[in-house]
Amino acid sequence: MTVTEQRPTDEEHINRIRRRFATVGCAQLADAAPEFVVPLHLPAVPRNGRPRVCGPVFPVATTDDMLPALQALAQTPPGHVLFIHNTVTRSEAIVGDIFLTSAAVQRLGGIVVDGAVRDLTDLAVIDVPVFSTQVTFVSARTTSQRAIDLPQTVEVAGTAVRPGDWLFGDPDGFLLLPADRVGAVFAAGAVLRDREEALKKAMQHDGKTLADLTHLDDFLDGTGDLGFTP
């Protein structure tokens, strides 16, 4: 195989999808392929000014215990998103500045914590997206003493987060996609994005309204269908 024929590495593929995610968001992916998108109802918000995260997910469950999270951090591949599900009080921070610094050195795609983080001032200067549902200055402790099998499948709000599925998060929320559907769903999302841009252009430059573009009057009087046209 020549240099030009070499297949992209996993990390290169992840970075390519991440660049596409900068222009095609969760809402467009969900609208374009609802049959493949799995909404993840997680009230986590960005904690260091980086509002988008995506990558193959590496899940782990913990119980206010640092050891499972530390083991998962050590095993999460570059470009992947570490997903930490704290199953108990969530009143102790699992991730802080030292934890996230290691994630940056390891080139992780991001960290999402169903639980708490801390050290927000220091997290702000670390170039790895971090999301959490809570914040506290109280650090979790290491309470267990055994190795665990990783990655794990965890359940969040009735949704299974499985290793290798792709996790996408932006200001609209989080969703999961099967790894083998990511490319096709993004292609459909890009088509939808272009269509939406054409609709907005028709409104902004041609003075058309949403009622005009959807043929609302024709639909209401029974002479036409309801639908978008630029």
Annotated binding site for substrate: 118
Binding residues for Mg(2+): 119
CB contact at 8 A, 189 and 181: no
Binding residues: 118-119
Tokens of 207: 């003075």
Tokens of 46: 């960005």
Q: Is 125 in a helix, a strand, or coil?
A: coil
Q: Provide the β-strand partners of residue 56.
A: 166
Q: Round the CA-based radius of gyration of the chain to a whole number and report it.
A: 21
Residue-wise DSSP of 30-88:
HHH-TTT-EEE----EESSS---EEEEEEEEEESSBHHHHHHHHHHPPTT-EEEEEE-S
